[in-house]
Amino acid sequence: MNTPPAQLIIFGITGDLARKKLLPALEHLAQNHLLPEPFEIIGVTRQNIQPADLIGPESALTPLLSVVTLDMTDPADYVRLKATLDAGEAQHGVCMNRLIYLSIPPNTYAPVVELLGQAGLNAPCPHGTGAARLMVEKPFGYDLTSAQELIQQLTQTFAEDQIYRIDHYLAKETAQNILTFRFANPIFQAVWDRRSVRRVTITASEVIGIEGRAAFYEPIGALRDLIQSHLLQLLALVTMEQPAEMGAPHIHAAKLKLLKSIKPIPPNQIAIQATRGQYQGYRDEVKNPDSTTETFARLNLAVDNDRWQGVPIVLQTGKRLDRKTTEITLEFGEAPNINILTLRIQPNEGIIIDLQAKKPGFDDQTQMVEMEFNYKNSFGPDAHPDAYERVLVDGLRGDQSLFATSAEVLASWAVIEPILREWTKDDEGLITYEPGTSPAELE
Residue 278 CB, shortest distance to ligand BG6, in Å, is: 15
- CA–CA separation, 158 and 148 (whole Å): 15
Q: How many CB atoms lie within 10 A of CB 89?
A: 21
**Helix ranges (DSSP H) in 316-405:** 375-379, 387-397
**Catalytic residue check, 230:** yes
Residue 314 CB, shortest distance to ligand BG6, in Å, is: 18
Residue 249 CB, shortest distance to ligand BG6, in Å, is: 25
**Nearest residue to the partner ligand BG6, using Cβ:** 225
Provide the binding-site residues for ligand BG6, judged by CB under 6 A.
206, 225, 326
- CA–CA separation, 95 and 86 (whole Å): 9
168, 230, 252, 384: the active-site residue: 230
Q: Is the peptide bond before 347 cis (omega within 30 degrees of 0)?
A: yes
Residue 113 CB, shortest distance to ligand BG6, in Å, is: 21
Residue 191 CB, shortest distance to ligand BG6, in Å, is: 28
Question: Across 292-405, where does the E strand assignment appear?
Answer: 296-301, 313-318, 325-334, 337-346, 350-358, 366-374
Yes or no: say if 88 and 68 are a contact pair by the CB < 8 Å rule. no
Tell me whether residue 17 or residue 95 sits nearer to ligand BG6 (CB atom).
Answer: 17
DSSP result, 252-285: HHHHHHHHHTBPPPPGGGHHHHEEEEEETTHHHH
Tell me whether residue 247 or residue 347 sits nearer to ligand BG6 (CB atom).
Answer: 347
Q: Residue count of the chain, please give it.
A: 443
Tell me whether residue 98 or residue 320 sits nearer to ligand BG6 (CB atom).
Answer: 320
Rounded to 5, what percent of the chain is helix, strand, coil?
35, 25, 40
Tell me whether residue 294 or residue 354 sits nearer to ligand BG6 (CB atom).
Answer: 294
Tell me whether residue 216 or residue 373 sits nearer to ligand BG6 (CB atom).
Answer: 216
The residues annotated as belonging to the active site are 230
